[in-house]
Amino acid sequence: MNRPNIMPGRPGSARMEYFACREDVEALLAKGYSARLAYEAMQEQGRVTCSYSAFCDYVRGGGKRLHSSGKKKAQTAFHWSK
């Protein structure tokens, strides 16, 4: 399969890369490979140039990037009681 013409660093390029190799990634995961090993395999083949973090977001989200919105959760204060 030919790799689509994707310009790394452009908005949406990580998603396009993931969709181009999605079936292969899902097959590797079904065989018991970790997301890290699947990412490294796709990177060695030159099929992804995105970050591991972006790749994992798409793997977890089934093609949608599931990541934090950047807003920090309100931390609750911890009080020691005597």
Q: Per this entry, what is the length of the chain?
A: 82
pTM recorded for the entire structure: 0.65
Q: How would you write the pLDDT of the chain (82 residues) with one tens digit per residue?
A: 455 555 556 667 788 888 888 999 999 999 999 999 999 999 999 999 888 988 888 888 766 666 645 555 555 555 565 5
pLDDT of residue 44: 94
d(CA 59, CA 45): 18
Angle at 15 between CA 13 and CA 1, to 5 degrees: 85
